Amino acid sequence: MTTVSEAILSRRSIRAFLDKPVAPDLIKKIITQSARAPSGGNLQPWYVDVVTGDSHKKLLDLMDKKIADNPAGETRDYDFYPSDLPDKYTNRRRATGAGLYEAMGIAYDDKLARWDAMKLNWEFFGAPVGLFFSIDKFMGKNQWCHLGMLMQNISLLAIENGLATCMQEAWAVYSETMHDFLNLPDERVFYCGMALGYEDKTAQVNKFITEREKLVKFVSFID
């Protein structure tokens, strides 16, 4: 049995998946267990849409057209990053991007190749299952945090079950399309997607491991 530490330490964002289906009962089990996530007042402020099979194919075909017609994307429901991100964070973001492109054999200044790599997001990187997360518009920052806990549970339970994930805010670049496709009510915010499937262990891109800051950089022990 996978321990929690093993699941946490082996979880990575996986960006190449095998063309191998995930049993529907396993998807249901993982989401059911993930919903044991805590939430303030036990509001459980989350909605999950699972896209597989024919609807998965329909979505990928639709995205092909949307990306071609509108590569800049649509009006987003929220900002991915604050506009004036201090250097400390910008540097981490750049280092992660650079490492990822290096793993894919893409030169950092090769914008075309980077765009081709970016577009793989909208194919779930080959994963047969797409999960989408949304939340009621009236919910606040607090409840968004709790939705994140559900998502983290899914990514860890995926590991326990031999699966892998990549969280994907890239889908929110096409929020209007996703609202329509998932038939979300107007009062819902489309947050994020998640690719779920079996890792392609031969893919170079999956060998990339991101850095983490040392404890002293972000923890204060108040004795």
Ligand X SMILES: Cc1cc2nc3c(=O)[nH]c(=O)nc-3n(C[C@H](O)[C@H](O)[C@H](O)COP(=O)(O)O)c2cc1C
In the block, residue with structure tokens 């999950």? 48
Q: Cβ closer to ligand X: 74 or 169? A: 169
166: left (phi over 0), alpha (psi -120 to 50) or beta: beta
Cβ atoms of 183 and 134 closer than 8 Å:
no
Cβ atoms of 194 and 130 closer than 8 Å:
yes
Q: Cβ closer to ligand X: 127 or 167? A: 167
Residue 185 parent element (H or E): none
Distances (CA, A) of 158 to 6, 29, 54, 92: 12, 10, 23, 26
Among 142, 128, 141, 122, which residue's Cα sits nearest to residue 71?
A: 122
Give the total of residues touching ligand X (CB under 6 A).
12
Q: Cβ closer to ligand X: 9 or 24? A: 9
Q: Cβ closer to ligand X: 54 or 127? A: 127
Binding positions for ligand X, 149-188, rule CB under 6 A: 166-170
In DSSP terms, 190 is beta-bridged to 134
Provide, rounded to whole angstroms, the least separation between the CB of residue 210 and ligand X: 4
Task: In whole angstroms, give the CA distance from residue 99 to residue 82.
Answer: 22
DSSP structure class, residue 195: E
| Residue 16 engages ligand X in binding (rule: CB under 6 A) | no
The site string for ligand X over 90-119 (x = CB under 6 A, - otherwise) reads ------x-----------------------
| Residue 123 engages ligand X in binding (rule: CB under 6 A) | no
Cβ atoms of 199 and 14 closer than 8 Å:
yes
Provide, rounded to whole angstroms, the least separation between the CB of residue 223 and ligand X: 31
Q: Cβ closer to ligand X: 24 or 95? A: 95
Classify residue 168 as exposed, middle or buried by CB count within 10 Å of its CB (0-12, 13-18, 19+).
buried
Q: Give the residue closest to ligand X by C-beta.
A: 170
Residue of 34, 121, 134, 153 interacting with ligand X (CB under 6 A) = 121
| Piece of the chain touching ligand X by CB under 6 A; list 8-16, 34-42, 70-78, 176-184 | 8-16
Provide, rounded to whole angstroms, the least separation between the CB of residue 126 and ligand X: 13
Residues that bind ligand X (CB under 6 A): 12-13, 15, 96, 121, 166-170, 192, 210
